[in-house]
Amino acid sequence: MKALACELPSTLGVPLSRLSVADVRRQVEQRGLVARISHSTIWRWLHEDAIRPWQHRCWIFPRDPQFQFKAGRILDLYARRWQSKALREDEFVISTDEKTSIQARVRIHPGQAPRPNRPMRVEHEYARGGAWAYMAGLDVRRAKVFDRCEATTDFAPFEWKFTRADLNDLLARMRQRYAEDNPLKLTA
């Protein structure tokens, strides 16, 4: 039964991505391994051996032949290294990303506070407040986020990236913060 629980569902002819306890029970009984068995017995036996076919973790197999090289460069930056050299104290690694088309919703009616024996009430109706884009830069070393939101009313914000001026402003703020935290270490 434990070996059966560790098989891929596709090899058992089950059109699912993972097995449930009911699937294992059905397979065990169909194969004649037992006449009858309860769900709780199957669960207990599998649980004792840390076998949980009903759980799964998604992953993506890297198909890019350069994946290891590309990922290595990023991981080196997270470790504060670039081209086999350590970064200086005043050099920063900034990871940037954007989330576009966030729907802003405005409640039509105000909520009502909870009362004894009654939970808070929130009206489900809302008015659309447009779409917004959230853009952020993460200072990897200090775990500090620099971000902003912009209304997205046309296609231009979807093409927005951190411009040179944005990055220069971000670096100036980071250097100022670094100077405040380390007044004797910063050199001109």
100 and 187 housed in the same domain: yes
Average pLDDT over residues 40-68: 84
- Write the pLDDT tens digit of every residue in 130-186: 888 887 878 888 787 878 787 764 545 444 455 667 677 777 776 776 666 555 544
Question: Which has more confidence, 65 or 163?
Answer: 65
Find out whether 162 and 96 touch, Cβ atoms under 8 Å.
yes
Instruction: Evaluate whether 129 touches 106 at the Cβ level (below 8 Å).
Output: yes
Q: 142: number of CA atoms within 13 Å, CB side?
A: 15
Averaged confidence pLDDT in the chain: 79
* In-domain check, residue 53: no
**pTM exceeds 0.85 for this model:** no
The answer, yes or no, to whether residue 100 has pLDDT greater than 90, is no
Looking at the structure, tell me whether residues 7 and 97 fall in a common domain.
no
Rounded CA separation 31/45 (Å): 18
> What is the Cα–Cα distance from 56 to 52, expressed in whole angstroms?
8
pLDDT category at 112 given cuts 50, 70, 90 is confident
Task: Give the tokens for residue 61.
Answer: 């197999």
Expressed as residue numbers, the domain containing 142 is 93-110+123-188
In a domain? residue 63: no
Q: Are residues 104 and 177 in the same domain?
A: yes
Residue at 88 is within a domain? no
Give the pair of three-digit tokens for residue 23: 């699937």
Q: Is the dihedral of CA 147, 152, 154, 158 positive or negative?
A: positive
Q: In this structure, are 44 and 98 located in the same domain?
A: no
Q: Which residues contact 104 (CB under 8 A, 6 or more apart)?
A: 128, 129, 130, 131, 132
Same-domain check for residues 22 and 97: no
Same structural domain for residues 105 and 167? yes
Q: How many domains does the chain have?
A: 2
Q: Looking at the structure, do residues 104 and 175 belong to the same domain, yes or no?
A: yes
Assigned domain for 12 exists: yes
What pLDDT shows up at residue 65?
A: 92
The pLDDT assigned to 152 comes to 64
